[in-house]
Amino acid sequence: MPRIGVRVKRKGEHMKTLMKSPSLSCIPALPRIMAPMLAVAALSACQTTTTVTTATTLACEAGKYQSLVGRNVGEVTPIAGVVTRTLTPGQPATMDYREDRLNLIVDEKGFIQQVTCG
């Protein structure tokens, strides 16, 4: 452990250097707080987990819903257990691809033009 030299002058003595070890108060607070968190992060990096998902559980299976093309989106009942998103012309949409999401692309009048995954 490094030692820190401190110069002190007591009453009636010459200036002398005392050697002492640094205490925790000398260490800035942020590294003291971060050290345990880094240790936990390092240990958790050793743990490995493997998740296997099959394509059938993630795929939206758009082929099963092609019969919806040409129907008004208002006539379509919500499909249980399927995440759906209706996209109208000019509507902003996120570009993230989700295999489990069924996209219903409609025209200006609300008729389904296309059914896709994503």
Q: Do 40 and 60 fall into the same domain?
A: no
CB-CB contact of 40 with 81 (8 Å): no
Q: What is the rounded average pLDDT for all residues in the chain?
A: 75
Mean pLDDT throughout 29-47? 64
Q: Do 15 and 40 fall into the same domain?
A: yes
With respect to residue 62, please indicate whether it lies within any of the assigned structural domains: yes
Q: Do 109 and 68 fall into the same domain?
A: yes
With respect to residue 49, please indicate whether it lies within any of the assigned structural domains: no
Q: Do 40 and 72 fall into the same domain?
A: no
Domain of 84, in residue numbers:
56-117
* CATH assignment of the domain containing 84: 3.30.10.10
Q: Do 113 and 60 fall into the same domain?
A: yes
Q: pLDDT by residue (tens digit) across 54-106?
A: 444 567 899 999 999 999 999 998 888 899 999 999 999 999 999 999 999 99
User: What's the CA gap between 75 and 68, in Å, rounded?
Assistant: 10
The fraction of the chain above a pLDDT of 90, given in percent, is 42
Measured CA angle at 53 (ends 48, 54), to 5 deg: 150
CB-CB contact of 60 with 101 (8 Å): yes
Q: Based on the structure, what is the number of domains in the chain?
A: 2
CB-CB contact of 41 with 56 (8 Å): no
Q: Do 61 and 103 fall into the same domain?
A: yes
Check residue 79 and give its pLDDT: 85
Contacts of 117 by beta carbon, 8 Å cutoff, 6+ apart: 59, 60, 61, 62, 99, 101, 102, 103
Higher pLDDT, 113 or 49: 113
With respect to residue 51, please indicate whether it lies within any of the assigned structural domains: no
Among 20-24, 33-37, 48-52, 108-112, top mean pLDDT goes to 108-112
Check residue 68 and give its pLDDT: 95
Check residue 54 and give its pLDDT: 42
Q: Do 68 and 97 fall into the same domain?
A: yes
Global pTM value: 0.51
Helices and strands (H, E) in the chain, number of each type? 2, 5
Check residue 110 and give its pLDDT: 94
